[in-house]
Amino acid sequence: MGSVLNVSDAPTVRVFIAGGSYAGLSVAANLLDLGQGLSPRMFQQPYEHHPNLPRVNWDITIADERDGFYHLIGSPLALADAEYAKKVWIKFQDLPGLQTPQIKFIQASVSSVDCEAKTATTIDSTTKVASTHEYDYFVAATGLRRVWPVVPQSMTRKQYLLEVEEHIHSVASAQHGVVVVGGGAVGIEMAAELKLVKPDVKVTLIHSRDKLLSSENLSDECKDKALELLKEAGVDVLMSHRLASTTKAETANGPPKYEIEFTNGHKMAASVVIMAVSKSKSTATYLPSSAIDGDGYVKIESNCTFSPGTPNAEFHLCAGDLTKWSGIKRCGWAMHSGHYAAQNIHKFVLKKHVGQEPKFAELQEVPPMIGLAVGKTAVASGPEGTVFGEDVMQAYFKHDLGFTICWDWMGLAGRKEDETD
């Protein structure tokens, strides 16, 4: 090998990414930059490239069950506003920043990964045909499986728009009101967005504990402020009400009506009952048991690689919600960990081809923190304390529940011309 590789001599490295959401797309977007000798788009400082390996040709396969990227944070609004719903599901072929021969998207689920052989098997979503993919590096970024209506269950944009439309119609015509069961982040945001978009609909949030966000390790100040903002947004809130039963009442030919009973004897009626109390499940069933803990989370080192104990652990990385790591599962963390995984794959490639010892990008412990949109305002809480207001909404979510912030940070429209090193 000469002192400097010709661009045509750049190695081709195969990366298989399971999951095309925040973490998976962040890995791909940042790898593209690194392969061109640029600093990764999410990196705050210039990235030091090795003069003997200025370029890497990537052969990236991204497998996802959906036909596009869905902005998960936008779900509460997407399920209340049809125009917004159209904006937040973008088919993979319509993401300008990822249209390159170096990336191939397949709509498929990953059924198994053989870490020793470095092969992944996928099942095509349409044909149900199995295919095997060889890779040099594998990234598990399939996240957690969440139930309806926390996320739409559709796998195509077309089906999703029908699913959302049906839901929006049912809540808009809810003459007996809408009841949202569950005072976690999802329930709070869903109730508030619904009230914001459909101010005439009576919206009631029900929570079984005496504080909202009871399953999160957040301050009482944050939990109390969330309740206050929810009430200010016009949502009725029933605390310490545990659901006992929901029975569909007989109605002659009018809209549906549900009789709701609580363990404390209280009863009420509603036209629509939204369950926002789901326990998210790991999607990592395709990985060997050595790679995951009892709850299905992937055991990783601070450089995102699988912990020792799985064959070829250093060629397998995990980013996003599937990681067994501290902190509340958030999309900011998913993008951040995906960006670190991309840097570290590049560092492994440098080690192999030019012998440079890697100085890895290392994940730090994450304290409990949250940003919560509550109608027109937001509350944010972390180690520095709790802040709230319309300015917090602007800073954390802008005007579109974080869509523009995420889109720009991942560079899904492409790398801006002025982003040179």
At 218-233, the pLDDT tens digits run 999 999 999 999 999 9
pLDDT digits (tens, 9 = 90+) for 137-176: 999 999 999 988 888 999 999 999 999 999 999 999 999 9
The tokens for 107 are 């709509």
Rounded-to-integer distance, Cα 332 and Cα 338, Å:
10
CB 388 within 8 A of CB 225: yes
Low-confidence winner among 136-140, 146-150, 306-310, 327-331 (lowest mean pLDDT): 146-150
Rounded-to-integer distance, Cα 39 and Cα 49, Å:
8
Q: What is the pLDDT of residue 143?
A: 97
Q: Which among 147, 180, 168 has a CA at the least distance from the CA of 270?
A: 180
- Average of per-residue pLDDT across 345-354: 97
| DSSP 8-state symbol, 128 | -
The tokens for 402 are 């974080």
In this predicted structure, the answer to whether residue 187 has a pLDDT above a threshold of 80 is yes
Q: Where are the alpha helices (DSSP H) in 133-219?
A: 157-172, 185-197
In this predicted structure, the answer to whether residue 386 has a pLDDT above a threshold of 90 is yes
Q: What is the pLDDT of residue 127?
A: 97
The tokens for 332 are 């900011």
Upper half-sphere CA count for residue 152 (Cβ side, 13 Å): 35
- What residues does 103 pair with on adjacent strands? 60
Rounded-to-integer distance, Cα 23 and Cα 415, Å:
18
List domains and CATH numbers for the chain: 12-72+91-146+280-366 (3.50.50.60), 157-275 (3.50.50.60)
| Helix pair 220-232, 185-197: axis angle to 10 deg | 20
pLDDT band at 44 (very low <50, low <70, confident <90, very high): confident
Q: Judging by DSSP bridges, how do beta strands 57-64 and 203-206 pair with one another?
A: unpaired
Rounded-to-integer distance, Cα 110 and Cα 256, Å:
39
Rounded-to-integer distance, Cα 300 and Cα 303, Å:
8
Supply angle C-alpha 210, 216, 219, rounded to 5.
Answer: 75
Neighbours of 254 (CB within 10 A): 9
CB 260 within 8 A of CB 166: no
